[in-house]
Amino acid sequence: MDVVDDGGSSRASRVRRRRRSRVLSRYAGRPIRLIWRYVARHKTAHSLVLLSVFAAVACALASQYGIRNLIDALPTGRAHPEGVIRAFTILVALIFADNLFWRIAGWISARTFVAVTGDIRREMFDYLAGHAPSFFSDKQPGVLSSRISATANAVYTVENTIAWTTLPPSLTVIGSIGLVAAVSVPMSLTLVAISGVLAFCLFLLARNGKSRHEAFARQAASVDGELVDVIGNMGLVRAFCAMLVEGRRFDAHLAAETDSRKRSLLYLEKLRLLHAIATSILSACVLGWTVWLWSEGRATTGDVVLIGSLGFSILHGSRDIAVAFVDLTQHVARLGEASETLLIPHSMPELTKATPLDVKRATVDFDNVTFAYPGRRPVLDRLDLHIEAGERVGLVGPSGAGKSTVLALLQHFYEPGSGYVRISGEDISQVTVQSLQAAISIVPQDVTLLHRSLLENIRYGRPDASDADVRRACEDAHCLDFIMAMPDGLNTVAGDRGAKLSGGQRQRIAIARAILKDSPILLLDEATSALDTASEIAIQAALERLMKNRTVVAIAHRLSTVQSFDRIVVLNRGHIVQEGPPAELAAVPGIYRDMLVRQGRRTPAPRPDLM
């Protein structure tokens, strides 16, 4: 039962993980900085994409100038064909180079942008897993998972929008203005002023629509959460004939989400309409100005074509920039909302100076521990409890007495309001999370299995266990027979949360999982609650083998589970009101004897000799 800290990972990796968590929390609600964090990890690749886009736009602009030279060379082309051939060759080369650079940018971005989304999902999941259990109790799983996906997808969309929708027209506008200036400086300056005014107006209008985009992001996440919540509890929904009720509830959420999306999109369309009207009028003015220059003899036919084409490029480019910027505003708003939810600071971060738990003797101590859930009265009040190494202690008492809280604090799911929880003499708030988890095995009342094979579920606490070790654990837990009776045996997929198994079968799998993990401290949370009487007798034998040479803390409503224990601790309203061997407590008035009477057991059963 050696406890290996962090599954063999080094202290350096723990330090890096803690440092990364502290850094990530600074990006909550700061989407631009969050994007740059991941872009900076792939600087070379992003630089190549940027340079390729620059080169492609430059070739496209040069192609328009090449068309101008070709048109001007045509009047004398029959007498001097070399000018036409040269202009034609240059134009074809520029068109080819234009397409080549776009393909290079696309090839690199296909790898780089996907790598960025992988980095985001990986770090967001790692950060999310570092939150205290209280964080998850207040959030719907679907909302959290959708926000991880929303964060990654938003960054991917932002990168694509900038690379293909925002940057090219921006460069086109800048380059076109420069080329127009070579023919008419006044026209160039006019176009600069008009484009600047249009961009500024659209920026202000887009910023005013931010609240609409954020509302849509919140409603979209809410709909995802409702879907996962209902689908994950479909058995409950059907059992209570609540399909119509849930349908109406979902319709209400969907209507709110649809309404918020409609308001967001209609606001964007208003901006696009405003810009379309402005560019239509201005395009006509630019074309008229160009023709006037030609009539005055101040521009060649090629200049007319060039300036007209560039003028359209500038005005339509500013439209594309505005449209892309408005879209970016929506995606950045969703990214900001998702990051605010996921990257709130950890309420119980692992200490930088945390050390691995060294379990020399698996003693457990609660020293003057007081604890209350937020907004509620204290569940534990100055609790003092000492459990010797190898001792079996049963926790009994009425609902709300604090039994489950004792197990939760022992696993460091919460920080005590005051006092200390110690294992082997060490304050568990000062040790690494992985080493604490490695020291404890638990068989819960509500057994949770992953949607994976039974073999993977049983190996979950000890992934390197051999097949022979797994089979022995299954035999000890009395679950090998029903597993091998399944068509796929240990490769049978458990289903969502173990839906393909009965409650008793899930508990036997949990016992096998705990046996295989082989931790020095064992927690039993009503470990036989889902078993019938015949199954309970068989499982008691498995539990006896599981509990051998371990420190055991067990919650029991069914008192037959703890009749063979060394000591019973009776809790009531956060205090220890009785404690002692089961036989002694059964002989004196009190909560324990009252519970025995209610269960029809006036005297404890003799301890079975299953050694």
Residue 192 domain-assigned (yes or no): yes
Domain hosting 115: range is: 19-342
Residue 488 domain-assigned (yes or no): no
403 in the same domain as 271: no
380 in the same domain as 335: no
Using the 3D structure, point to which of 342, 367, 401 is the last residue of a domain: 342
213 in the same domain as 143: yes
Query: What's the CA gap between 560 and 475, in Å, rounded?
Result: 23
Which SS3 state, helix, strand or coil, does residue 440 take? strand
Residues 419-457 pLDDT 10s? 999 999 999 999 988 889 889 988 887 787 888 889 999
Q: With contact defined as beta carbons under 8 Å apart, do 527 and 511 qualify? A: yes
User: What CATH number did the domain enclosing 573 receive?
Assistant: 3.40.50.300
Inform me whether the pLDDT recorded for 312 exceeds 70.
no
Task: Give 572's DSSP letter.
Answer: E
Residues 6+ apart with CB under 8 A from 588: 578
Please state, in angstroms and as integers, the Cα–Cα distance from residue 70 to each residue in 76, 81, 98, following that order: 11, 11, 18
Rounded mean pLDDT of 54-60? 89
Residue 370 domain-assigned (yes or no): yes
Rounded mean pLDDT of 180-187? 73
145 in the same domain as 33: yes
367 in the same domain as 324: no
Rounded mean pLDDT of 129-158? 78
Residues 6+ apart with CB under 8 A from 250: 223, 226, 227, 230
- Most confident region among 279-288, 339-348, 461-470 by mean pLDDT: 461-470
Inform me whether the pLDDT recorded for 177 exceeds 50.
yes
Q: With contact defined as beta carbons under 8 Å apart, do 131 and 16 qualify? A: no
Instruction: Please report which confidence band the pLDDT of residue 218 belongs to, taking 50, 70 and 90 as the band edges.
Output: low
Residue 273 domain-assigned (yes or no): yes
What's residue 225's pLDDT?
A: 66
Query: What's the CA gap between 90 and 241, in Å, rounded?
Result: 74
55 in the same domain as 158: yes
Residues 6+ apart with CB under 8 A from 290: 187, 299, 303, 304, 307, 308, 311
Residues 6+ apart with CB under 8 A from 85: none
The per-residue pLDDT of the chain, averaged, comes to 80
Rounded mean pLDDT of 345-362? 82
Query: What's the CA gap between 475 and 483, in Å, rounded?
Result: 10
The pTM of the whole model exceeds 0.85: no
Could you tell me what percent of the chain has a pLDDT over 90?
16
What's residue 604's pLDDT?
A: 46
Residue 493 domain-assigned (yes or no): no
Residues 238-261 pLDDT 10s? 666 677 777 777 777 777 777 777
Query: What's the CA gap between 310 and 316, in Å, rounded?
Result: 10
Residues 569-611 pLDDT 10s? 999 988 999 999 998 998 888 888 888 888 774 444 444 443 3
Residue 325 domain-assigned (yes or no): yes
Say if strands 440-443 and 521-525 run parallel, antiparallel, or are unpaired.
parallel
153 in the same domain as 276: yes
What's residue 535's pLDDT?
A: 63
Residue 611 domain-assigned (yes or no): no
Number of domains in the chain: 2
58 in the same domain as 134: yes
Rounded mean pLDDT of 505-534? 81
Which SS3 state, helix, strand or coil, does residue 132 take? coil
Using the 3D structure, point to which of 342, 368, 395 is the last residue of a domain: 342
Inform me whether the pLDDT recorded for 560 exceeds 90.
no
What's residue 551's pLDDT?
A: 93
What's residue 304's pLDDT?
A: 67
